[in-house]
Chain A
Amino acid sequence: MGWDNDEKSLKTFLFSKINRKITFLLLITGLITPALTILYFYELALSVIPESIPLEQSVLLQTAAVIIIVLIGVNVGFFGFLFSRSISKPIKQLYAVTKEVEKGNFNVKTDVKTGDEIEELAVAFNNTTAALARIDNERREIDSAKTEFLSITSHELRSPMTPMKAQLQMLEQEYFGKLNDKQKHSLGIVIRNADRLDKIIVDFLEISRIEAARLKFSFKQIDLVKTAEETVEFMKGFANEKEIKLELKTDKIPVIDVDPDRVSQVLRNLINNAIKFSKNKSKIEIDVNIKEDHIQFSVKDYGCGMTSEDQIRVFEPFYQVEDHSRRVHGGTGLGLAICRGIVESQKGKIWVESKLGKGSTFSFTVPLKPIMEIEPIKVLFSPRSVIEGKLKEEFKKVLGPLGLGEFNELKSKNALWKEDLFKYVATLTNLFILSDEQGQLFKNKIGMIFGDEKDIINEKTVTPMLTLLRW
């Protein structure tokens, strides 16, 4: 094992770019002087010594010259290599540690004791990561304090509901005496709204758990086709109440590592919404398709559809579609926000396509690659909404009065992601709506909004430096 490591590290050292550069440079420098000197003395010797030198002596001289050059070469090469290693080693250490920071691991320190500017750089680096780690810790503490607070509050909020609901029902069931019609009606209103309040609190609890990624996911090897079939079966009961047909169509889906309960939860919510907004005796189509790197679920209804404003805002917490029959629907407005939280914490996407009066199709994706770690997703105070706000402003600035319309169009197609936006900007420059320069500026701004400051800084300053170093 040790032998392998040595071989590998020797290989890496030999082929390391810095080592090659410096060693080569030193080799050339180190060899020029002796080579020239030897050449000079060789010519001198030839011109002084009589013409006819026995062949052996001449060959001996030449061999001696070659050997001397080779020895010098080996010497310089060896020491040059050691020298370049003393520079490249600390740089490699810094590089390795920087890679860790890139991954988000701030608790790293580098130990460089070269007694020069590189050591100073390493010290500065350590200080920076220490500062970053502090900020990151603070953020985590605030996050968990917020979640703890939400959890406790929600629990406390739910507890009074038990005696409240029990007593209200007893009143309604005339435990305490007969009720007249007006009293019964009034009681009905109170009970309905108490139930509504309870449901909202439950959803709120769910959201707080999603936000802290303490949403319990349990991953197993699952055949999602079966999950879809079971979910549709389960929802058939509700669909039958309105005589709505549920049609399920599935591709052949490979077994993947996924949490089936969560997928089922999202699917149930989407089908429930579809049933709510469909007319009696209509149908709802549920499709499960395999795409390049993900599985796509879609729920298509032929109901009343949504306005474009609805489509943009429907995943927002507490947003409910304006509908004269809204009171009947009795939702909390949090279902889709929770679905988005679940889908996005599994690194999927969720979106809607809809035509007012014709119907809507809600779709979400589950990536094929297993999710190693569930990230906390902000559902309520989401960095997504901050990013979207900034993007909106940028669109208005760059595209003027058309900017808002374009932004909303992209949002409704769920195209507010970096790659999609870059493609969009490329289209704008291809159509000469923006000049190349304007397009690049726009892309930079978009990149910055998605947190790419470092790439832009590099572009501005590294290029001139590289030109200097090119030799």
Chain B
Amino acid sequence: MKTILVVDDEEDIRESVKLILETRGYKVEMAVNGDDCLKKLTSVNPDLILLDIMMPGKPVDEVVRHIKNVKIAFMSVVRISEARKRGLCTQENIVDFIQKPFDVGDLVGRVELILGE
């Protein structure tokens, strides 16, 4: 069973994504911001991290620098231009960009694609 780490400062979003992914058979761990995410990574070994790019605390590009060998997919409410996307996807392990609000089906589809199901 694959594990997904969901990092978002809004509890309602965490809860919704958790329910959606668990229903699809994934194990879901959660973190509330960048620092919490890095802390969780010392004890959890996820196959994918869903990372909200606008959270209080450590900025997301710093967080990402510490994560090298886990796949990361960004999530964002703000519409991001192609240029900004290129600027953010600076590492090989950043594999996708999910626009919020998302379709349930779309989210599931992308996750499954990333995890090669």
Q: In the complex, how many angstroms separate the beta carbon of A338 from the nearest chain B beta carbon?
A: 13
Contact of A162 (CB < 8 Å), options: B19, B81, B83, B100: B100
The reply to whether A163 and B13 form a contact with Cβ atoms under 8 Å apart is yes
Within 8 A of B (CB), among A153-206: 155, 158-167, 169-170, 173, 175, 198, 202, 205
| Chain A positions within 8 Å of B83 at CB level | 218
A216 CB-CB contact with B under 8 Å: yes
Stretch of B35-43, B89-97, B101-109 that contacts chain A = B101-109
Distance between A169 CB and nearest chain B CB, rounded to angstroms: 4
Query: Contacts A162-B102, A164-B101; is A202 near B13 (CB within 8 Å)?
Result: no
Does B51 count as interface, using CB distance less than 8 angstroms? Answer: no
In chain B, residues 73-117, which have Cβ atoms closer than 8 Å to a Cβ of chain A?
77-79, 81, 83, 100-105
Chain B residue contacts of A167, Cβ below 8 A: 16
Contact of B78 among A155, A175, A218 (CB under 8 A): A155
Among residues of A, the one whose C-beta sits closest to the C-beta of B14 is A163
Residues of A contacting B101 with CB < 8 Å?
Answer: 158, 161-162, 164-166, 198
B17 near A166: Cβ-Cβ < 8 Å: yes
Specify the chain A residue showing the minimal Cβ separation from B99: A162
Chain A residue numbers with a CB within 8 Å of B62 are none
Is B60 an interface residue when CB atoms closer than 8 A count as contact?
no
Min Cβ gap B30→A in Å is 14
A167 to B12, CA, bound (A): 9
Minimum distance in angstroms from B9 CB to a CB of chain A: 10
When the two chains form their complex, are residues B23 and A163 in contact, meaning their CB atoms are under 8 A apart?
Answer: no
B13 cross-chain contacts in A, Cβ below 8 A: 162-163, 166
The answer to whether A158 and B16 touch across the interface, beta carbons within 8 angstroms, is: no
CB distance from B107 to the nearest CB of A (A): 8
Evaluate contact between A159 and B16: CB separation under 8 angstroms.
Answer: no
Q: How far is the CA of A155 from the CA of B76 in the complex (A)?
A: 11
- CB atoms of A163 and B16 under 8 A apart: yes
Docked Cα-Cα span, A157 to B100, in Å, equals: 12
Residues of chain B within 8 A (CB-CB) of A175 are 19, 23
Cβ of B67 within 8 Å of any chain A Cβ, yes or no, is: no
CB neighbours (8 Å) of A161 from chain B are 100-101
Tally of contact residues, B, Cβ under 8 A: 20
Residue B10 at the chain A interface, CB threshold 8 Å:
yes
Interface residue? B70 (CB, 8 A): no
Interface of A is mostly: helix
Return chain B residues, CB-CB under 8 Å to A218.
Answer: 83
Bound-state Cα–Cα, A136 to B94, Å: 45
**Contact assessment for A159 and B103 in the assembled complex, using a CB-CB cutoff below 8 Å:** no
CA distance A444 to B79 in the complex (A): 47
Please name all residues of chain B whose beta carbon is closer than 8 Å to the beta carbon of A164 when the two chains form the complex. 101
Residue of A160, A163, A205, A216 with most partner-chain B CB within 10 A: A163
| Chain B residues in 8 Å Cβ range of A160 | 12
For residue B20, CB closer than 8 A to chain A, the reply is yes
| A164 vs B12: C-alpha distance when bound (angstroms) | 9
Query: Would you call B81 and A216 a contact (CB within 8 A)?
Result: yes
Q: Complex Cα distance A175/B19, Å?
A: 9
What residues on A are CB-neighbors of B79 within 8 Å? 202, 205
CB proximity to A under 8 Å, residues B2-28: 10, 12-13, 15-17, 19-20, 23
Known contacts A166-B17, A170-B16, A170-B20, A159 near B77 by CB under 8 Å = yes
Q: CA separation between A173 and B83, bound complex, in Å?
A: 36
Contacts known (A162-B100, A163-B10); A170 close to B78, Cβ less than 8 A: no
Once A163-B16, A175-B19 are accepted as A-B contacts, the answer to whether A169 and B77 lie under 8 Å apart by CB is: no
Tell whether, in the assembled complex, residue B104 and residue A166 are in contact, meaning their CB atoms are under 8 Å apart. yes
Q: Are A166 and B20 in contact (CB under 8 A)?
A: yes
Q: Is the CB of B16 within 8 A of A166?
A: yes
| Complex CA distance for A419 and B69, rounded to whole angstroms | 65
Q: How far is the CA of A163 from the CA of B101 in the complex (A)?
A: 8
Residues of the A chain whose Cβ atoms lie less than 8 Å from the Cβ of B15: 163
Contact (Cβ within 8 A) A170 B77: no
> Please, which residues of chain B bring their CB within 8 A of the CB of A158?
77, 100-101
Q: Once the chains bind, are B103 and A169 in contact (CB under 8 Å)? A: yes
Query: Is the beta-carbon distance between A155 and B104 smaller than 8 angstroms?
Result: no
Q: How far is the CB of B108 from chain A (nearest CB, A)?
A: 10
Of all chain A residues, the one with the shortest Cβ separation from B11 is A163
Residue in chain A with minimal CB distance to B78:
A155
Chain A residue contacts of B100, Cβ below 8 A: 158-159, 161-162
Cα–Cα, bound, A344→B20 (Å): 45
Q: Which residues of B contact A216 (CB under 8 A)?
A: 81
- The answer to whether A155 and B77 have CB atoms under 8 Å apart is yes
Asked if B104 and A170 sit within 8 Å, CB to CB, the answer is yes
Q: Name the interface residues of A259-303: CB closer than 8 Å to any CB of B.
A: none
A sample of 5 cross-chain residue pairs with beta-carbon separation below 8 angstroms, ordered by A number, consists of A159-B100, A162-B10, A162-B13, A169-B103, A169-B104
Extra contacts besides A166-B102, A169-B105, A170-B16 (6): CB < 8 Å: A158-B101, A162-B12, A162-B102, A165-B102, A166-B16, A170-B19
